[in-house]
Amino acid sequence: MRSLRVPEARWLFVLAWLVLTPLALAGKPAAAPPTPAVNLFPRAQLRASEFTWSVLLFHPVAPKGDIGAGARKLMASKYPRLNAAPAPGKPRAEAIVQPAPDEELEPIDEELLQYFGRTLNAEERKRLVGARQATLLSFRVLFELRHEVLLDATRFAHQLATEQDAFLWDAETREYFSPRSWKEARLDGWNGGVPFLPAHITFHVYRRSGEDLRVVSLGMAKLGLPDLVVEQVSPSLSQDMGRLANVVAQLLAEGLALSADGTLEVDLAKLKDARLRGQLESRVQKGALRRVKLRALAGRREQGDPDNPLLELDFPGKGDVHARHVAALDALFGQQPDDVVHVAPGDPELEAVTRKALARLVELRPRVEKGLRPPEQLLLKAGFRTDRGGTEFMWLEVTGWEAGKWRGTLANEPESVSSLRVGSRVQVAESEVVDYLYVGPRGEREGGESSLILMRRQGH
């Protein structure tokens, strides 16, 4: 009897990395830097006393009237907190509205919007590509006013963009929005207090020259907080690592402080945001500790990182970095169970799937050798020897191919292979593959027929 793995729906229907905050998959090749001495994140940099952030309004057609004068009038009538008159001993914010110099505007094309305009529909993308003018909205904020100013500024930018029929570019998260998608993502459900952080930040995920991923947040600067970095993430752990980073971001916004020894006490019980708690509930398993201690290090800056202090999340404990990541995720969320179906050898329907998969992989191999570029993604199902001498079939996310073997990271939690965990680096011979899941350059998906067959047999 063979054990065949039925993946969660995320592997079958949502193959791109998805976390509570969307991950912008940037194919940014860079050599891994040498490992420096450990430097704790400076506690004094955890909260900026004063900071500035910006939004650009892109105009597909020329602005109506004097946009600067109209913006100042709108602020004075509805958003006075954005540009209040100075008063002794009273904190105030400042807002500047001015034309963006044409020479500083980069061309907007379809490829750019594929990564940074994911909230736009096809018609909105078509209109934005033609935008040639922009207006800069710049906000100077004191930390004690961060939540109020962010809400007012987000509303102000939305109203101004709506009146001008303009698109919005969040300079901190590097995302394009229409007034519609800006309201849906940033304003709906938020009327004051600490915002739901996943709506206001994003994460860039990219692979260096090796096979691990680097995860870095963008947008924390809008709250006077450092952006977060996680190094050497196994691709198969990226979804849960995104969840963990979202939790840390939210807790920091809600007041989580650094201990004297540089420790962050990440505790789901202390999470105040009901929306985030609700989204996490389906992932947190019964018996999970729901808390973990992380160490805050000074992040190593790389090209393309946000112009903001970087706080690297470090994972204390035993073993290599992968083992420490798994232990932390287990502590916070618990081990994620996968369904296992026992199938007799020689199943004709599944063997037909295998023949088709092996033929298709001959065609896909050159793309892997060249290097898959997001959103391209390839997962393979292959057999692994169990502790009792049987075979357990699991999915691996492909990171490379060499000398007749596929390399990747395990995408399932093994049931009967004690030497492996989800995210473990594995390699399998071409002949051991029984199925594949492939996402193409435009997001088209194919394969995964064995899982569909098993789900159908289970009555799903």
Percent of the chain with pLDDT over 90: 66
DSSP state of 318: S
Q: Which amino acid is at 204?
A: H
Please tell me the distance from the alpha carbon of residue 137 to that of residue 59, in angstroms, as a whole number.
13
DSSP state of 421: -
Cα distances from 8 to residues 14, 203, 281, 411, 413, in angstroms, run: 10, 23, 16, 10, 11
What average pLDDT does range 275-283 have in this prediction?
A: 92
Out of 26-40, 93-107, 225-239, 405-419, least confident range: 26-40
If one compares 235 and 360, the residue with the highest pLDDT of the two is 360
Q: Supply the pLDDT for residue 25.
A: 47
Out of 95-104, 180-189, 380-389, least confident range: 95-104
Cβ–Cβ < 8 Å for 373, 391: no
Structural domains of the chain sorted by starting position, each given as residue range(s) with its CATH number in brackets = 2-15+340-457 (no CATH), 50-187 (3.30.1400), 210-333 (no CATH)
What average pLDDT does range 407-434 have in this prediction?
A: 91
Cβ–Cβ < 8 Å for 131, 108: yes
430: Cα separation from own chain's centroid: 31
Cβ–Cβ < 8 Å for 31, 209: yes
Percent of the chain with pLDDT over 70: 89
What average pLDDT does range 248-266 have in this prediction?
A: 97
Name the most confidently modeled range: 14-18, 98-102, 187-191.
Answer: 187-191
Q: What confidence category does residue 337 fall into, taking pLDDT thresholds of 50, 70 and 90?
A: low
216: Cα separation from own chain's centroid: 8
Please tell me the distance from the alpha carbon of residue 220 to that of residue 371, in angstroms, as a whole number.
31
CA nearest neighbour of 12 among 339, 241, 285: 339
